[in-house]
A = this chain, B = another copy of it.
């Protein structure tokens, strides 16, 4: 399918929900993507199955702290620049562009790259949601190297990393991103088609698009938007209430904190705390854990159903908290080592959200 500007707008809404509160606000990325498409550029969304073993697949993205991202207006040149740089370093042209992250701004950045190069955009990603660190990618789980990777800033500074493992890539790239002022354009996990097909989380761009479209249409028809969201995502309502406190602090380039929500309606006299580190990671209702990473926890405005990223959480907002099952790839022992609650420092066992919900 060829993406229309309406598709991009819908996808941005859906991607923000899949972002689990993080991944950066897709708004600016959406403007960039729409501009590219309106300049007459066509973006074709194709299925991962069409990728050949020896095709060269390049993910492009932004890296950095969302709180910094939203104060910067990026152009499209930087996205092309990191793509061209990694192509030059590998000595071969990309056959396909892919998102590495389904949630947030990184759902949009690959559209910009696809639009300006005419290369097909793959209908999949490496997370099925948003995560804060470079090794938190399904391709990492099957042994694909994040490097050689390219980082660039809007000034024109460019760095090529080739590290011994993906944790070193995260460590070095993070330090560079901070020096760049908080965000960087990156081309990362450039890989062969056979690896892509094996590691990809399929259909996430289209899922985001359908999610956005359904919300838009449900609103127009006056249907309950939340039911539509839960239906498409196989998600659950975790809580409804008013935000009464937001505590936050920025450490080492990550926005961390927690939000406290006082319940109403069927959640009256209850209280939920959601802990976040860029993304929402653990939801606790009246002292009991009800959802954890890698399942998606999203906080939506109760009127508009618009997802509220962690950096926009504030006192007084009336919200619905929803939980969405993550991709099965994350639910393995290996997957949970990389993105489970214990990795983030929470002493909680991962239990799939649908199991937790059934128990309650």
Contact = CB atoms under 8 A, between A and B. Distances in A.
Interface of A: 155-164, 168, 171-172, 175-176, 178-180
B156 A172 contact: no
Nearest to A171: B179
A160 B157 contact: no
A155 B171 CA distance: 14
Given A164-B155, A164-B156, A178 B179 contact: no
Given A159-B172, A171-B179, 5 more contacts: A157-B162, A157-B172, A159-B160, A159-B161, A172-B179
Contacts of A163: 157-158
Contacts of A162: 157-160
A176 B177 CA distance: 11
A177 to B, nearest CB: 10
A168 B157 contact: yes
Q: Count chain B CB atoms within 10 A of each CB in A159, A171, A180 and give the residue with the most.
A: A159
A156 to B, nearest CB: 5
Contacts of A171: 179
8 contacts: A155-B168, A156-B164, A157-B164, A157-B168, A159-B162, A171-B179, A172-B180, A175-B176
Contacts of A179: 171-172, 175
A175 B171 CA distance: 11
A298 B299 CA distance: 63
A164 B155 CA distance: 7
A176 B163 CA distance: 12
A136 to B, nearest CB: 19
Contacts of A157: 161-164, 168, 172
Nearest to A156: B164
Contacts of A156: 164
A139 B27 CA distance: 44
A164 B178 CA distance: 17
A150 B80 CA distance: 23
A181 to B, nearest CB: 11
A134 B164 CA distance: 25
A28 to B, nearest CB: 23
Contact of A159 (B155, B159, B178): B159
